[in-house]
Amino acid sequence: MTDDLEQLYQSTYTAVVRFLYRKVWDAERAEDLAQEVFVRALSHRPEKPRAWVFAVAANLARDEARAAMRRKRHLTLLKGDPIAQPTIGPAADDTVEHDEQMASVQDALNTLTPRDREILLLWDAGLSYPEIAAQTGLAVGAVGTTLARARRRLVDAHDRQQSRTGTDAAHS
Amino acid sequence: MRHIPEDELHAYLDQGLNRTQCVEIESHLADCPSCRAMRDGIAALRDRTTALLARLAPPRSLPPTFEALRKRAAEVASERRRRLHALAWAASLVAAVGLGWTASSLTRPNEALQSPAPAVAAGAASDGTMRRPDAGQPLQVAAAPSPGRDAPAVARSGGQPSRTAGLVARPPDSARAASRDAALSVLNPTPALELTRLERPSGHGDLELGGMWRTMSWDGAKAEAGERLPHIDGLPVVQVQVQSGEQSSRPVMVVAQQLASGQVIRTIEGPATDVSQLLSRRAISDVDSLFLPGDSAGLGRDASHAMAMQLGDRMLAITGDLPSDSLRAMIRRLNAEMRGK
């Protein structure tokens, strides 16, 4: 059981950090949350650990987002809660070019509906159709439809942006 | 011949289809150049999406070893056990003191009014945390009026509270009864009125919130606080603590309740400044340490979470070793319940 979790940790830790990073936009915070996810997995011993790990990661990221909203509404969060000091904004210490490239993708991603975005990120994190369906409440048959739309929109939005700014970043 | 819909090709490339579906699609693709072209287009779209998303990656860093995480998980678990243990200890102490009080009131009804037993018993038991008042400064212990029962207003001045007085005052068989009934009393708060003095181990002199905390019966507290007594309906109450504000007249109420899982949550209601100070200074942990002398240092930073909600000049808070989602759901429910009253 522990070996399973350890294997999962080795194989998905980076994907979990990336998944969280794309939600909280803070590398350190994403790592903290990812570690929290695996610490919880160790005490919960979930039956389907891979799906569980991403479900908990999604919840933690949602908490962060809600906390940010709540702070705006002057409701107070206090002590001990990991939500207390998130920093929201792009990661520092990167090259300007990398930052720009990232920002353009980030903008494109933000044009997607929350659900399309979530499903795209879950797919990119390596979850299977049934796992994505279970986590989002979507029918398995609808995952393909959603991904088709999300991919199209992401690429379209990015292309539109590039042609607008004229600074065409090399497509890889 | 039916062409393959776009989303099915996505699912096909994503390996999201079952075997039969795959065979169907493959046999169609073999005969249909337009669907093959579409498949290639979708494959390219997939690749571009993946490439774009790959830019949204944090700088690489070395993950902690799994062993380190395992250690942390073990720490979290033992912390949870310790808190549970602390609670059981605290509850049995409260029960013991309460029963001792009741027993001594029954056996010596005439002396009940003067008996300082509960306060002293509490003092004796939590000796590490509580300080005896300066010899020259009498410990003023004034019981709050507790409607519905013969409020035993105990005022003890000067004197030398013997550390064993409570135990001596309690007949030995009632002590046994106390431990026997302790578990039961966790669910049924004893009608005891107990006075405790809480001081922070650091001994700072400037802490209003380190002052007097009264552990009250549910009924007593309810009579005093009215509908303001914060709690979640349907959960057993294990402890009620009240602190009268020194500057404001409205008290801070702390109600500890036990979840089915055994974990304890505390709901707190009081003036916003007092409650936020209480939370930020983790005086909650100190309330624990009242019953666990010298053990408050073990409380990890993340061991306990708190969530607070400010409503005008009042603040409602909830603390417990629970995921923040659960705490959030609880404080919403709590808020709704308090408003409904």
Q: What is the pLDDT of residues B200-218, one digit of tens each?
A: 333 333 333 455 677 777 7
Q: How many helices (H) and strands (E) does chain A have?
A: 7, 0
Instruction: Give the pLDDT band (50/70/90) at residue B140.
Output: very low
pLDDT tier for residue B301 given thresholds of 50, 70 and 90:
very low
Mean predicted confidence (pLDDT) in B112-130? 43
Neighbouring residues of B177: CB distance < 8 A, sequence distance ≥ 6: B99, B103
pLDDT digits (tens, 9 = 90+) for A136-152: 999 999 999 999 999 99
Q: What angle do CA A16, A22, A23 make, to 5 degrees?
A: 95
Residue A12 has pLDDT above 70, yes or no: yes
Q: With 70 as the cut, is the pLDDT of residue A38 above it?
A: yes
Q: Which residue is listed with tokens 């042609």?
A: A163
Cα separation, A119 vs B30, whole angstroms: 30
Query: Contact B265/B330 with Cβ under 8 angstroms?
Result: yes
- Residues of chain B with pLDDT > 70, as a percent, come to 55
Place of tokens 């009393």: B185
Which CATH fold topology does A94-172 show?
Answer: Arc Repressor Mutant, subunit A (1.10.10)
Statement: residue A126 has pLDDT above 50: yes
- Range(s) for CATH 1.10.10.10 in chain A? 94-172
Q: A39, A77, A131: best mutation site toward chain B, by most B Cβ within 10 Å?
A: A39
Cα–Cα distances (Å) from A102 to A105, A109, A145, B22, B336, in that order, read: 5, 10, 26, 36, 43
C-beta neighbour count of A25 within 10 angstroms: 20
Are the beta carbons of B70 and A101 separated by less than 8 Å? no
pLDDT at A17: 95
Reported confidence tier of residue A122, pLDDT bands at 50, 70, 90? very high
What's the one-letter identity of residue B261? S
Percent of chain B exceeding pLDDT 90 equals: 16
Distance CA B118, CA B196 (A): 9
Render pLDDT for B242-300 as a digit per residue (tens, 0 to 9): 777 555 557 788 888 888 777 778 888 887 777 777 776 654 443 433 333 333 333 33
Q: Please, which pLDDT band fits residue B335 given cuts at 50, 70 and 90?
A: confident
Q: What is the pLDDT of residue A120?
A: 96
97-136 in chain B: CB under 8 A from chain A: none
Supply angle C-alpha A131, A135, A141, rounded to 5: 60
Q: What is the pLDDT of residues A67-121, one digit of tens each?
A: 777 766 644 444 444 443 444 444 445 467 777 888 889 999 999 999 999 999 9
Q: Between B248 and B320, where is the model more confident?
A: B320
Nearest to B58 among A13, A91, A145 (CB): A91
Give, in order, the Cα–Cα distances in Å from A98 to each of A28, B57, B128, B311. Answer: 18, 10, 58, 45
What is the per-residue pLDDT across B81-105, written as a single tens digit (0 to 9) for each? 888 888 877 777 777 777 777 766 6
pLDDT of residue B307: 77
Domain ranges of chain B: 6-55, 82-340
Q: What is the mean pLDDT of residues B171-178?
A: 48
Q: What digits encode the pLDDT tens for the residues B143-157? A: 444 444 444 444 444
Residue B231, token pair as written in the block: 């709690």
Burial class (CB in 10 A: 0-12, 13-18, 19+), A167: exposed
The answer to whether B314 and B213 have CB atoms below 8 angstroms apart is no
pLDDT at B127 over 70: no
Q: What is the pTM of this model?
A: 0.48
Is B21 in CB contact (< 8 Å) with chain A?
no
Question: Residue B56 pLDDT more than 60?
Answer: yes
pLDDT, mean of residues B3-19: 94
Give the pLDDT score at B128: 41
> Of B55, B64, B282, which is closest to A35 when you measure between CB atoms?
B64
Q: What is the per-residue pLDDT for B334?
A: 78
- Rounded Cα gap, residues B87 and B168, in angstroms: 25
Residue A80 is predicted with a pLDDT of 42
- Flag if A148 and B42 touch (Cβ within 8 Å): yes
Distance in angstroms (rounded) separating the CA atoms of residues B1 and B199: 84
Task: Look at residues A123, A153, A110 and name the one whose alpha carbon lies nearest to residue A54.
Answer: A123
pLDDT value, residue B10: 95
Beta carbons of A148 and B301 less than 8 Å apart: no
